[in-house]
Chains A and B, each alone.
Chain A
Amino acid sequence: MTRHEEDQEIQHFFLAMKERDQRIPAPEFPAIKKSKTINWWIPVGIAASLVAGFFFLGEKESPPLPAPMGEVVIITLEEGPDQEMQFNIEHTNEMDIWESPTASLLTEY
Chain B
Amino acid sequence: MNRTQLESFLRDHHREAFLWARQCCGFDGELAKDVIQQVYLKILEGKARLKHDSNCKTWLFTIIRFTAIDELRKSGKSERLDSEVEVVWAEPEADPETYEALVRRLPTRQQEGMLMVFYHEMTLEQTAEVLKLQIGTVRTHYGRGKKKLREWIEKIRVTQ
Contacts and interface: CB of A to CB of B under 8 A. Distances in A.
B65 interface: no
Contact of A27 (B7, B33, B100): B33
Contacts of A9: 150, 153
A14 B119 contact: yes
For the residues of A in contact with B, the DSSP-based class is helix
B146 A7 contact: yes
Nearest to A11: B118
Interface in A1-24: 6-7, 9-11, 13-14, 16-18, 20-21, 24
Given A20-B99, A21-B19, A10 B149 contact: yes
A30 interface: yes
A24 B67 CA distance: 21
Interface residues of A, number: 18
B18 interface: yes
A6 B44 CA distance: 42
Given A9-B150, A26-B14, 11 more contacts: A6-B146, A10-B149, A14-B115, A16-B99, A20-B99, A24-B22, A26-B18, A26-B19, A29-B10, A29-B11, A32-B40
Interface of B: 7, 10-11, 14-15, 18-19, 22, 29, 33, 36-37, 40, 44, 97, 99-100, 102-103, 114-115, 118-119, 146, 149-150, 153
Interface of A: 6-7, 9-11, 13-14, 16-18, 20-21, 24, 26-27, 29-30, 32
